[in-house]
Structure 1
Amino acid sequence: MTITRDEARTAGLLPGAAIIVGIRSLLVWAIVAAAMIALFLHGSMSGCPGGIDASGGFIDSAGAPTDTAPLCGSITMTANPLVYTAIALIVVLTLTRILRRADTVDDALRMTRTARIAILVLTIVTFVVGYVAIMTVRVTDWSDFSLLYPFPFVTYDISTHPMGVNG
């Protein structure tokens, strides 16, 4: 009797090796998703409506002279830490669910596939919401600006300062 290569490969595997492979795949997906969000979900916008006229005085965004320096500012958008927490929770809850409810290897693999899809959907939604959020920022006057704040997905860092002051 000859043993094929596939038979030799499966004979030496641990019981439940397929589940370990599924869990490893889930962890890789989670790490890659978190890294993609951390690396690519950044946006910023800054500006300084107004300026300085020919005589050295300040002008506002409409070009009218003013005694005070125009307000300048910047908005920086990044992923909310709750997104990373949600990815970690998906992984931990899936592993807990596998331990408590999976009766077969197929059940466990189905649970890991579902978790990978949930991580993928969360990542895509975070990117889309973040992109829409930074694209809808409209700043014409830093004393009166509006922005869409999609709480669970992105967070903003807003700083304002008078013109001519760095920071």
Structure 2
Amino acid sequence: MTTTPTENTTPLLPGSALLVGIRSLLVWAIVASAVSAMFLRGTHQSCSGGLAANGQGFIDAGGAPTAIEPRCGSIELSPSPLLFALLAVVVIGTITRILRRAGDEDHAFRMLNNARMAIVVLTLVALAVGWIAIMTVHVDDWSSFSLYSPLPFGQFDIETWPITQR
């Protein structure tokens, strides 16, 4: 007498495959946040002049003597909190859309895959925009300058000081 084992093809919990997909989406968002926090960084520091060779005055960025003390400055790029908020909106918005509009599991899985792709694209665009923003920074005069902000992907922290302070 031989017995054939019966296969149980139903999951232990109805909808568990969808829960796995949502967990995967959350993991992608957390990894994207960590990648952004680690790699969306950069600094630029310079002085727009210096001290004269005799120590009795200052020179400007062009090397001409001046009585005005030159300024130095630094710009630091970091991820914007808006980037993390956008990643959270993608996750929460996808879960909400699944609850409201998904007719079946296949439709829900397509929504999850699209959200994962949106997270990847958003992270890559943020990295590219941030790196381009910090690499193109060039400040000749720290007393008056303007920068293009990489918002909502990154933010600049700008600090200036007189040349004799550091």
Query: Which whole-Å CA distance do the structure 1 matches of 2:11 and 2:20 have between them?
Result: 15
1:90-133 Cα distance to aligned partner (Å, 9 max, x none): 11111111111112111111111111011111101101111111
Contact 1:136 1:147 in 2 (8 A): no
Shift of 1:62: 1.3
Q: Percent identity?
A: 55
Q: Which residue of 2 aligns with 1:29?
A: 28
Residue in 1 that maps onto 2:130 = 130
Q: How many residues align?
A: 163
Q: CA–CA distance in 1 between the matches of 2:11 and 2:112?
A: 24
Separation of aligned partners in 2, 1:3 and 1:140: 78
Q: Report SS of the residue matched to 2:140.
A: strand
Which residue number in structure 2 is paired with residue 75 of structure 1? 75
The normalised TM-score by structure 1 is: 0.90
Is the CA contact 1:142–1:160 (under 8 Å) kept in the aligned structure 2? yes
Please give the residue correspondences for 1:86-165 in structure 2 after superposition, counting only pairs within 5 Å: 86-165=86-165
1:41 paired to 2:43: no
1:64 shift after superposition: 1.4
CA distance in 2, matches of 1:135, 1:146: 15
Aligned equivalents of 1:149, 1:43: Cα separation in 2: 14
Q: Superposed, which structure 2 residues align to 1:52-63 within 5 Å?
A: 52-56=51-55, 57-63=57-63
CA distance in 1, matches of 2:121, 2:148: 21
Superposition RMSD in Å: 1.6
- Structure 2: give runs of 5+ residues left out of the alignment: none
**How many Å separate the matches in 2 of 1:94 and 1:66?**
60
SS at match of 2:145: strand
After superposing on structure 2, the runs of 4+ consecutive aligned residues of structure 1 that deviate more than 6 Å are none
> Which amino acid is 1:113 matched to?
N
One-letter amino acid matched to 2:84: Y
